[in-house]
Amino acid sequence: MGRPRQHGTETRDQLLDAATRLLATEGFGALSVRRLSGEVGVSSRAVYSVFGGMPGVLGALYRRAADVMNEHHEAVPRQEDPLAEIVELAFAYRAGALAQRDLYGLYLERAVPTFCPSDEDVAYAVRAHLRARQAFERACADQPGVDPARATIQMWALLHGLCSLEIGGMLAGMDGDVEAVWQNAVNSMLRGLFPVAR
């Protein structure tokens, strides 16, 4: 009953694509309801029909960012040695973040003051940690006294800090060899967490 929805999934996808494109080319400043709708060729009201408002758009972008992070993690092959897998997952984290620098700001930094992800959004987002968590579970199996949950969080903090600093241009002065900083940092943390193993 009532008028059927004119703006369905395809309008939704078009809007999100436009948002992602705008974000990548012009940053958050260009992200507005009017700009988005104009880009796709629908009325600004359509954004409210599909997403309920700007927070809805940001929430969808947030989940899209989480999806990309998850895909990068899942692309890492499972390995016998959990520590080797953790290192690869770390670089997958970096690749996922750098592939969507602005969206990463929405994902884990508070890049849009008016947006705060809901509890469901957060729960949806942290599932990307599952691979890392599993690897740490295995690594901690023969290392009594090391809590896998805590170890995962610690590594996450390091990775997030590295991403945040790199995206913010704070690692630019490191002789250009940012990758070496990453390698060294991840190895140091693992050495500190599992001193016996290596």
Residue ranges in contact with DNA by CB under 7 A: 1-7, 31-35, 42-46, 48-50, 53-55
Site string for a second copy, 64-103 (x = CB under 8 A): ----------------------------------------
- Which of a second copy, DNA, none does residue 162 bind (CB under 5 to 8 Å by kind)? a second copy
- Site size with a second copy, rule: CB under 8 A: 42
168 lines the binding site for a second copy (CB under 8 A): yes
| Per-residue 3-state assignment (H helix, E strand, C coil) for the chain | CCCCCCCCHHHHHHHHHHHHHHHHHHCHHHCCHHHHHHHHCCCHHHHHHHHCCHHHHHHHHHHHHHHHHHHHHHCCCCCCCHHHHHHHHHHHHHHHHHCCHHHHHHHHCCCCCCCCCCHHHHHHHHHHHHHHHHHHHHHHHCCCCCCHHHHHHHHHHHHHHHHHHHHCCCCCCCCCCHHHHHHHHHHHHHHHHCCCCC
Stretch that binds a second copy, among 56-64, 67-75, 76-84, 112-120 (CB under 8 A): 112-120
Nearer to a second copy, 42 or 108 (CB): 108
Task: Name the residues that contact a second copy, by CB under 8 A.
Answer: 27-29, 105, 108-114, 122, 126, 149-150, 153-154, 156-162, 164-165, 168, 170-171, 174, 180-181, 184-185, 187-193, 195
